[in-house]
Structure 1
Amino acid sequence: MAEANDPENTILLETSKGTVTIKLRPDLAPNHVARIKELAREGFYDGIVFHRVIDGFMAQVGCPKGNGTGGSDKPDLKAEFNEEKHVRGTCSMARSSNPDSANSQFFICFGDAPFLNRQYTVWGEVTDGMEAVDKLERGEPVRNPDNIVSMKVMADA
C-alpha cells in the first residue's frame, strides 16, 4: 500500500480480477469526488462491467447499460479540469463531446495519455492494485467483460 489512507477519501474497488485502492482527490475535483462517493455509497457501481478496455490506454466503467451510452439518474457534472496529468493509474471521468457531461462513467489509465490533460476531469489515482486493472479483459466493446464486484468508500467498509 501507499501512504496511510484517509478512509473518507479512499475507494476500495473490488473487481473480478482483484482489489484496487483509489486515493480520491477532492483538492482537484470536489464535485466529481462527491459524485463518485455518493454513487459508491448507493451501490450504483456494484456489478457494472468494464465495457471499454483499450490496451496501453485505459479501462472504462460506470455505464449501467454496459455499453457506454448510459449514466446515473443524477444530473451531469460541470467540468473540473485541472493540471493533474493522465498517467498510469490516473482515475478520470469519461464524458461526451460536451465538457459538462460527466455523470457516472470513469476510466483508469494504463499509461501516459497527455492528449487527455486538461480535457477530462482527474479525480483520483490508483495507489494499490494496478496489477488487477492490468488483467482486465480487453476490447471495444469487451466480449467477456470483467466487472466491479463492489465499490465502497473505505470509511464505510
Structure 2
Amino acid sequence: MSDKPATAAAADTVPDADPAEPYAADAAALFVAMARLNRLVRRKAPAQLGHSAVAALATVVWFGPLRPSDLAAREGVSAPTMTRVLSGLEAGGYAIREPDPADGRASLVRATAEGVALIKGNRSARSRVLRERIAALTDEQRAALRAALPALHALTGDD
C-alpha cells in the first residue's frame, strides 16, 4: 500500500492535462490510476504467461472461439504479433486452432481446458489481491467504487 492517504491520492492532480480539452484531467487521472492498479495486481499475482498472452487468452475464454484476425483486432495488435502470441499459447497447451465451421479456409482459436484453468487461476489470484485492497477501503470508498462500475464497463465498449 502507498504511504499516501487515500484521500490525498484521490485529490492528486495530473500534470500536463490540458484544461482547455474537456475531460482531459479526468482521462489522465483515470489512466494513471488504472495503470497503477494494474501494475500492483500484476506484481502481487504474477501470471505464468506474458501480459499479451494472458490478455489474448482471457479474451478467447470470455468471448469464445475467435478468428485470429478478430482476436488481433480486439487486442489492438497486428496480425503477425497475434500469430506469435498464439504460437506461444499453442506451444504451452493453452489454446488450439481449429477449422471455422462457417468457412473452411479460416480457423478459430479456442482455449483448452488448461488455458481456461490458467485464466481462472489468474483471475482468482488477482481477484484476491483486489478483494484485499477493497476490504481496506472505507464504506464510502467501496460505495463509490460500486457506483463507478457501470461507467467503467461502458468505457470498455465490450457489451
- TM-score bracket, normalised by the shorter chain, equals under 0.3
More helix by share: 2
More strand by share: 1
Pick 1 or 2: higher relative contact order, CA cutoff 8 A, min separation 6.
Answer: 1
TM-score of the two chains, using structure 2 as the length reference? 0.27
What's the TM-score, normalizing by structure 1? 0.27
